Structure 1
């Protein structure tokens, strides 16, 4: 099989796989396609929707917010201006994901083949696997859809033998940062590579490329009185800087998707560390590998110290650079027909995607079923709602303002109020009519212990209280219980 032919076949199989993963849901009736998007995706969509109504950036029309990664927010805003908030918007988001999966594949293949001279079939198989990880963690609509291709493109720029504009590198740095703010850890580490290997690098021009990032940080400080988005501040409600294990525990799961985007990359990191002991490895490969391994390790440790929240699927973008470097380090040890490996990867991703596309239905998602139940309840129950976990899709479906009780899309004052007040007082401060409690602790039928956010480790700061009343209503699904309390 000719080289270009194999490349085209790989792209074809990837697009088929991506379409099975992302587009088959639209053949279901009604709005069941909503079930396939991550709940946090709806924080973006609802904030944009409410901003159009209110004339200022807000999730609920009550408080201003900056609880989002800016680049993806503004891209979704442009799409929403053109398409509105119906099915068309969601289809286009998925089509963008499919298109960018091809970019991830092409840029990965370029990095492995052109920069590090890996054998063609091995490079194609490796690039397909990385692209499949991208699809699994990006299919829910989160900002990593653009972060991952930007990071791989940046790696290609930095490893070019010929001269590359320092301003261009700075600009791509900015785009990576604005797409996913915690990528700053990788960007800082990659500066070590620049200093060591990019001779003649112009740091003045590089800093000019960082102006969009500086503008974002200063605008945050001016408008919201905080450098970081409020979602980051809300996740750092912790009374101790002692590391907690929740973050690390969330990495370990034998859910099939989790094995692909978490356990396999973690295993590959351990193998990479062993392979790095080989003294014959080129210096730039060694440095880039160490940086790629340090990125997830530093971020996981940082999260366990300042936050303790678990990792959701889109967080696993942190393993993409280390996975690519693993394939480079492991290449000399691959023996036999590499075409067989390519065929096996193609069959694997097609079968996996076919199984997901055919058998996974919207009604299998309790988040969707619960949100639809709350939507039905809210039709003739007007007022201000409040809810913590799983509030994204609910906020998008109901026609009432919603206070996000974890603070993720609220403001600095709310986070302060959350830390300082009992939950019932907090609800009263924000004139809440209906409070939706996720899996509250039932003491008896008229006595319930409630808390938001849900306390996942002893150091976490939450607002809690006891409600002395019978729930006004409830929505019970297989794995989740929503109890609705009438507050006014």
Structure 2
């Protein structure tokens, strides 16, 4: 019996992983089939930055979020995918999101196959690799259905790791291929450049190439990866920085510090669950153990590549924890590869030599059936049980769009404004600078007066939504900060303004309160700026109304 189960482990695990992938994307199909737009609330708020920019590019021929200002606040490969879907579907309606769900499903299936291949290259058996790949499949499926750039970044990064782990002669042709794959991975998610730098540094240290080899390999790698420098040159020519404005906006710290909440959320609150806090440290210890057990000649390129996946995850999260911004769910993308490497190494060090065959099969059966059961539960909660109110931000967006339908003009909003911009279908200036221009970044860096900035951008209406706090108010005036510390943290530069007028719209959207609901209660206010007075905030001297 044990031998038969082991023999069929691979096809059983593949069937479960594919089924779980379908169950996670099925809520999109379920809601569309039932004439509901509740599927919109399944996507991350920041996804709509991509769709709005893609729609403006197709409709207006301009890379712009607000319809006027050119921006580069996006990861280019995913924007390209979204633009293609927008062109094929002719709009951002049901057909577009069904197509998006199919892209996500294809990415999930590809990611499973790549995870299986990666685990095999690290040294595990077919059966063990199949179980390892299926263990991470549910979390990865949820990650890839958010509508964010991780949909292409996860499989692209795994592909790069696999090509490195395969090893082989450092020929010009191999370097050319690696350069191309690395460029796709970086364009999918720009901070993968950190992992690529680690890879190149590891090559120099471990291979100790001659000067001629460095020149040959470097030429091939650079030629294959030409897309990245081309992208950087485009950014520099248009925006005077090789980095997109979204990266610049999240690097406006006013003081050094460690974001403990960020680190806690990485460890305990990703789609992979609290297992991350245990699995990744164990994987790192197992990697070090394997290094110590093996001689220099026995340390394969695959072993070092698995270590790269784990170390990159720690490095990525460590660097982001130095920033003030909160943790966003799609930032978990390095975990997809790191979990595979961690489980593979832990199995090789402690599982394979110690755990009896029958116990292995029992544990594997429990893990696989548990993953399938969790996938079924996910579909029920996000399909039949899910409603518009389960994403209070989406519900608030629909209410705002209805209240503002008759008002035309130029709007502005900071945090949690992606889905509201999509629902409004009106030009919205993004006050966090994530999808605006360098001028907005400098306003935030200099902590300029918010009222002056809004006038400069010709804004007619200001929208503010808050979740965990209330706006400071005194004598009929409201103090507004952008970016708000609620999302950008206390150490990020802010534009501040005090508006002395009552909002023309003010409402609160309650959270549905279900265990599967997202976002707390949301309070939304809108000010008409044409007649509003602002209280100035000079660095010295008395404040004044203007």
Q: TM-score, normalised by structure 2?
A: 0.83
Q: Deviations over 1:137-158 (max 9, x none)?
A: 1211111111111111112111
1:217 aligns with 2:269: no
Change (3 A) 1:320 1:193: farther
Unaligned segments of structure 2, at least 5 residues = 511-520, 531-546
- Choose 1 or 2 for highest CA Rg: 2
Deviation of the 1:3 alpha carbon: 7.5
1:9 aligns with 2:12: yes
Distance 1:390 1:216 in 2: 28
Segment of structure 1 superposing worse, 165-174 or 360-369:
360-369
Distance 2:347 2:321 in 1: 33
Segment of structure 1 superposing worse, 6-15 or 135-144:
6-15
Unaligned segments of structure 1, at least 5 residues = none
3-state SS of paired residue (1:81): helix
2:344 to 316, 328, 353: 328
Name the structure 2 match of 1:441.
471
Segment of structure 1 superposing worse, 295-304 or 429-438:
295-304
Q: Deviations over 1:260-302 (max 9, x none)?
A: 5263223222213333235214523553344333212322332
Deviation of the 1:243 alpha carbon: 4.1
1:271 aligns with 2:282: yes
Distance 2:129 2:252 in 1: 44
Distance 1:402 1:123 in 2: 48
1:112 to 119, 130, 151: 119
1:26 aligns with 2:29: yes
Q: Is the 8 A contact 2:165 2:305 kept in 1?
A: no
3-state SS of paired residue (2:289): coil
1:483 aligns with 2:525: yes
Deviation of the 1:221 alpha carbon: 0.7
Which residues in structure 2 correspond to 1:112-131 (within 5 Å)?
A: 112-113=119-120, 115-131=121-137
Q: TM-score, normalised by structure 1?
A: 0.92
Q: Is the 8 A contact 2:307 2:341 kept in 1?
A: no
Deviation of the 1:465 alpha carbon: 1.8
Name the structure 2 match of 1:362.
387
3-state SS of paired residue (1:9): helix
Q: Is the 8 A contact 2:443 2:495 kept in 1?
A: no
3-state SS of paired residue (2:191): helix
3-state SS of paired residue (1:261): coil
Distance 1:45 1:128 in 2: 31
2:367 to 332, 345, 352: 345
1:94 aligns with 2:105: no
Distance 1:58 1:175 in 2: 23
Name the structure 2 match of 1:451.
481
Change (3 A) 1:157 1:197: farther
State how many pairs are aligned: 482
Deviation of the 1:442 alpha carbon: 4.1
Name the structure 1 match of 2:166.
160
Distance 2:202 2:371 in 1: 33
Name the structure 2 match of 1:280.
293
